[in-house]
Amino acid sequence: MTLDNIENLFLKIKNLDIDDNFHFDNDFKELIKLEKRRLGFNENNLVFVSAGDISKFYWCPMQTYFTLIENEIKKFTGYLKDKIEYSIKLKQYNKIPNNALELLEIGNDLSLNDIFNLLKTKEYNNIKTQKEILKAKQELKQCKAPTKRGHYLETIYAKQYPKIHWFIKYDNFIFTCEPDGIKEDFVYEFKSSKNRYFAKQSILKAQLQSDIYCLCFNKKKKIIDDFIISENKIETIREEINIDRLNNIIEEIKKILNRIYFYILIL
C-alpha cells in the first residue's frame, strides 16, 4: 500500500458514514487481514462481529453465521473509525499515518476511562428534541417496514441515556458494541415486538446483546425495555450479566465456524 493510499484511507475512514451503500474497496480488505494478523488471529477466520448480529443466533444459527460473514468488513471499518475518531477528539493523535501498521495502531492507548470521559460530553448525551419525537410519531403512522418502525418506536419510547460505540476482544472475536444507553452501573437496551409471542425471542436477543455490552463497558447490570406494539405498553427486565449464557452461545457459534473452516480446508 502506497503512502497516498494510506492517507486516502485514513481520511476516508475518519470522515465516512458507514451505511449499507458504502463501498469497501480492496484496501479495506487488505487492512482487515493485516489487523487480524496484528492481533494474533488467523486472517481467514471470522473475527469482527457486532453484538447485535450475534444475538440473532436465537432466530437461526446458520443465518446468523452468514450475516456475521457478510457484515464483518463493515464492523471492522466501524471499529477502526471509532479508534481514529476518539483518538483525535481526545488529542491523542493529530497526523496522517505513514503506513498501514501505523494506521491500525491508532487508538491502541485508548482506555475505557477515555471512552467514559467522551460519554460525559454533550455530543453523546442522546437527548431527543420534541421536534425529533414528533417527526418519528408522524413517520410511524406511514411506516410498514419492521426495521424502520423499530427505529421510530425507539425514538419515541426509549429512555434517553448517553450512548457511544466501543469494542471488546473476547474469546475468538472482537465484538463491536452500541448499546442504547450507558449509565454508572448498567447498560440499557430497547426493543420493540409485534406481540407477546415475538417478545419472547426479542427478549432473548436483547439479553445476549446486553451481556456483551456489560462486558464491553464493565457493567454488572442491564435494563431492557421491550415495547409490545399490540398492547401499547413497555415490559422492563432488570438483571445481572449472565456470562454462562454468553459463553454457551459463543461455543455453539464456534462449532459451526469450525465445521465450515474444516470443509473449506478439504475442498
What pLDDT digit, counting tens, does each position of 207-216 carry? 999 999 999 9
Assess if residue 262 is contained within a domain.
Answer: no
pLDDT of residue 148: 87
Sheet holding 48-50, edge to edge: 48-50, 173-177, 166-170
* pLDDT tens digits, one per residue of 8-41: 666 666 665 555 554 556 778 888 999 999 999 9
| Whether residue 145 is found in the same domain as residue 32 | no
| Whether residue 106 is found in the same domain as residue 138 | no
Q: What is the dihedral of CA 62, 68, 70, 72, to 10 degrees?
A: -160
| Whether residue 40 is found in the same domain as residue 24 | yes
The C-alpha cell of 129 is what?
A: 428534541
**Integer Cα distance of 234 and 228 in angstroms:** 6
Q: How confident is the model at residue 264 (pLDDT cuts 50, 70, 90)?
A: low
| Whether residue 40 is found in the same domain as residue 142 | no
Assess if residue 267 is contained within a domain.
Answer: no
Assess if residue 263 is contained within a domain.
Answer: no
pLDDT of residue 100: 85
pLDDT exceeds 70 at position 74? yes
CB 201 within 8 A of CB 213: no
Range of the domain at 53: 3-118
Give residue 184's identity as a one-letter amino acid code: E
**Integer Cα distance of 76 and 69 in angstroms:** 11
Assess if residue 257 is contained within a domain.
Answer: no
- Across the range 79-83, mean pLDDT stands at 92
pLDDT of residue 12: 62
Assess if residue 58 is contained within a domain.
Answer: yes
| Whether residue 144 is found in the same domain as residue 235 | yes
pLDDT exceeds 50 at position 260? yes
Q: For strand 221-228 and strand 48-50, is the pairing parallel, antiparallel, or unpaired?
A: unpaired
pLDDT of residue 24: 54
Give residue 132's identity as a one-letter amino acid code: E
**Integer Cα distance of 13 and 86 in angstroms:** 12
Give residue 178's identity as a one-letter amino acid code: E
Q: How confident is the model at residue 223 (pLDDT cuts 50, 70, 90)?
A: very high
Assess if residue 105 is contained within a domain.
Answer: yes
User: Angle at CA 217, nearest 5°, toward 212 and 221?
Assistant: 70
Assess if residue 254 is contained within a domain.
Answer: no
| Whether residue 130 is found in the same domain as residue 243 | yes
The C-alpha cell of 254 is what?
A: 464456534
| Whether residue 134 is found in the same domain as residue 26 | no
Assess if residue 228 is contained within a domain.
Answer: yes
| Whether residue 92 is found in the same domain as residue 33 | yes
How many domains does the chain fold into?
2
| Whether residue 111 is found in the same domain as residue 134 | no
- Across the range 72-82, mean pLDDT stands at 92
| Whether residue 150 is found in the same domain as residue 98 | no
* pLDDT tens digits, one per residue of 184-206: 999 999 999 999 999 998 999 99
| Whether residue 130 is found in the same domain as residue 244 | yes
> How is 173-229 classified by DSSP, letter by letter?
EEEEE--SEE-SSEEEEEEEESSHHHHHHHHHHHHHHHHHHHHHHT-SEEEEEEEET
| Whether residue 233 is found in the same domain as residue 146 | yes
The C-alpha cell of 230 is what?
A: 399490540
Quick one: what percent of the chain has pLDDT higher than 70? Answer: 88
